[in-house]
Structure 1
């Protein structure tokens, strides 16, 4: 499968944003306070879908650039750095219900979200004080500049520091910086994200000792801008050798056991982009569903080469 045909409108669409990351949660009465009270996020909007028996919770760090609808309500699809928590009703009372965090065999795939801060030592100390569960402290392992914590559903959250940029006008210290997924073959996956969806590779990091390569991708990053101080990026991890194993595949988070859901790309004209993708790539693209064809209208879901889902929505959509 080749993705060498470039969608020019996607590359030239300045409105394109890697808007949010969706993960499923067991109990919103536990998870939402964890992200708001312990990690300092703000609940922007809750949306209940009674017909399908689930609820969505949109969160972000405090910011001044959130768009509003005519009634003054927040539109969570207009900016990057949003976290979407999905709660399927009834899971909170099921003692046997457990989500996959994407980091345990045989269901590895999704890795983590990453929160960056100006002072990583102060952040870790603050989280220790409120009894957050650490997977890796700064002093552990070879990498002394990053830590990992666990949320109530055992999802990993990376913590690391960024250097202050004089151009930075975001008053908040914390940023929802990136989402990490593992991929089988960068020769297939990178052209998909770059050419089909127009996401630019900003940095490549090769790790000889660990035999893996990291790729950081994003929209609209200015030259010289620190990737750690921005919000809404995608980190792709390639563990060497997986591309040559015909039977190897990662768990996409939507097959059972479920956990990770998707990343979401927002645009001023997603219908146009989806139409152009269909025209250029035809049957090589998997839709689930195509734009405006599902139970929830005005959006589409597309699958990448590793079968991860990407939602495509209008930036100004009002829930």
Structure 2
């Protein structure tokens, strides 16, 4: 087992109408790279990723990528007037957002707005003029950040979706020490960046598997050097939550449902299971549980589900 070969593969969201959801994510440049019907269980999973000529993982097997988005459609929700996915930003809170990084942020946001989609925050809203949040058809927040500075792209009218990256997914955590220990010591992630926002009373921790990405590279325009990377996990700690009793955040799988899990693809699934057993993690599902013997789920300190799957490209090549 070599954790340097592990990948933060995907984030799963439940959606009401897959046609509408896929249309939105295709607009922002993503492609369905794998469709997985589970008709006996009453749902289909759609895996989307950036797969253009200049994308980060073009042509790779879906398990051998980072920055994948899994949309889970439970049959019949599209015709249920009472169904709505829980986006995690209304009570009970937990999951926050996904995030894409783009070449020209003004042009990218204008393109989304011109297509008729709403925004939680436009570039011109509030103090932070370098980020925006679009809303997908289920009201999940999609953060938009620039790979170039706002000043550098001012007035640029064109945007190339092939250059976009699925940069990160954000979840709120109760106790950062426990969460960092879990994702670093147990899951093998690296703390890539910390952003303290003391006046606003929260701190952001960005973790991931560096791979061959240069996380220390300098940018002449002051843009976050991680903006070009995929597969980052953002942990948001709101000061004081560590002192609260019991479970503070909603994991998305208890009702009301929305966000489902994040997923790690590993180089050797059986050895990874031994590793987690030795670390005495809490399991939601072991490989031997239920019908699906090729996936497991472990629980992080906030009871978020972390799916564990085999990287099929490594399994098939023996690399």
Instruction: Please state which band the TM-score falls in when normalised by the shorter chain.
Output: 0.7 to 0.9
The corresponding residue for 1:72 is: none
Deviation at 1:223, TM superposition (A): 4.0
2:306 to 274, 288, 310: 310
1:27-66 paired onto structure 2 within 5 Å: 27-36=17-26, 38-63=27-52, 65-66=57-58
C-alpha distance after superposition, 1:240-282 (max 9, x if no partner): 0000111451000000010001111001202201212202x33
Counterpart Cα distance in 2 of 1:305 and 1:67: 35
| TM-score, structure 1 as length reference | 0.87
Q: Hey, which bits of structure 1, 4+ residues long, moved more than 4 A? A: none
What does 1:204-283 align with in structure 2 at a 5 Å threshold? 204-220=194-210, 221-225=213-217, 226-247=225-246, 249-279=248-278, 281-282=279-280
| Matched residue, 2:295 | 299
Q: For 1:88-136, what per-residue CA distance to the aligned partner results, in whole angstroms no more than 9, with x for missing partners?
A: 111111111111100002x100000001012101101111211111110
Q: Give yes or no for contact 2:4–2:188 (8 Å, CA) kept in 1.
A: no
Moved more, 197-206 or 266-275: 266-275
Q: Where does 1:6-25 land on structure 2 (aligned, <5 Å)?
A: 9=1, 12-25=2-15
1:88 to 74, 78, 84: 74
Q: Distance in 2 between matches of 1:233 and 1:60?
A: 14
- With 252-261 and 217-226 compared, the bigger mean Cα shift is at 217-226
Q: TM-score, normalised by structure 2?
A: 0.87
What does 1:63-212 correspond to in 2, within 5 Å?
Answer: 63=52, 65-66=57-58, 75-105=61-91, 107-163=92-148, 172-212=162-202
The 1:248–1:301 alpha-carbon spacing in structure 2 relative to 1, beyond 3 Å, is: closer
Q: C-alpha displacement at 1:293, in angstroms?
A: 2.8
Q: Report if the CA contact (8 A) 2:50-2:58 is conserved.
A: no
Number of residue pairs aligned between Structure 1 and Structure 2: 292
Q: Is the 8 A contact 1:114 1:177 kept in 2?
A: yes
> Matched residue of 2:270: which SS?
helix
Distance 1:195 1:52 in 2: 35
Q: Give the structure 2 partner of residue 3 of structure 1.
A: none
- Tell me what 1:5 maps to: none
Q: Secondary structure at the match of 2:5?
A: coil
> Gaps (5+ residues) in structure 2?
150-159, 218-224
The answer for unaligned runs of 5 or more in structure 1 is: 1-8, 69-74, 165-169
How far is 1:67 from its partner?
5.3
Q: Is the 8 A contact 1:67 1:78 kept in 2?
A: no
> 3-state DSSP class of the match of 1:274?
helix
